[in-house]
Structure 1
């Protein structure tokens, strides 16, 4: 029997990518699901793809950048059950631009989803996790939460913030029944690049996706399996993917000079998409 069998999980960003893969695997293991995403079409496709039709699934359109919406979602779930076993703050977006060319509204949009979405989800669902025999909170940062990358200042800022926020929370929850895990994926096969903002105006969504795919080292399904295994083993941190492990090592050995060991990193600039 899998660790998640008979448990319940909340997943944001469940309409595609890692969120969908997590839903599919947890559903196969007999875990009840509460799935949220701003994209109702993608969310419906995720639900339709689930194999274990007898396992409970509830879907909810929710914009994680909207605190009131996330609070209402958590309150609705609390009306149905006293506790939740697993919460994965997975929803994320991307924006590429040099700092001196950033659009403030786009930066605010990214921070609203990638950082505040994690804060909103954490604060709204922490009471339900505390009420579980063993609660698990998983916040998705990025390997870009460990290194800076040209044209990714907003994304870096959000993911560094998620890392710091989650690590502080982990220390606060030490000795409690709530396990905290921060996940740092490298290149994972998702739709984040296709749906991103910014970058050269003459590059289409398909071209963005093709450029991103060149850096993919881990499938969404493999990422989900590793995250679920990290939950079962109560890991405090998960460096996800061979590229992320390599970059993490470089950043630890060479905290200032790591760009010298990463060909192309310093060349990402005005006319070259990240």
Structure 2
């Protein structure tokens, strides 16, 4: 199920300067909530401060909120879920240096988009179990349209997610459930290696789909199979980088307008 949403209104909150280290990143940093066994929050970014961060977190909710979320999904709420946190400095999640300063985030879980008629279902405390990805976006950079289409791969073996890697305006935010097709692994030169790469990816690794431009028109689609190049990942036999067929399943989220592509 594909969802397109905008979230301009949240950015009126807490966008002043000062605060944590004087970096002016205090704000209402709305997030997409997805995942089955492992749960993830993905910040809904914009190319304006203080929301110019692409951040993906693995989280766990307190018992009461987790039970409400599970029950809501079982009763038919299999679509979009979002998390509206209380205002905080997003740089408190930066894993650089000695690690993130923030270990939990308080907020409200919504069925649907919290700014587009979503239904609040539970107050919650999200425990930050792992910072999967954290990157500050350059608000002044221009997108290089002829660069290769690139995603971030993470998740548990058999339950992987691909999130479009956001770089510069105009861009797009997209989240897909996907898997790596067994028996299709080759080295970067295209030679079969005779091993699979079914594994957990605790931290996001970059994947390029070479020959496809990094624009919304060439994005991955649900139920598609395409060759991805894990150019920065060590393969099972120890060599640097590998190629593998990626089979997409559902598109969990798509946003064009907020990042200037709509």
TM-score, normalised to structure 2, is 0.26
Greater strand proportion: 2
TM-score, normalised to structure 1, is 0.25
Greater helix proportion: 1
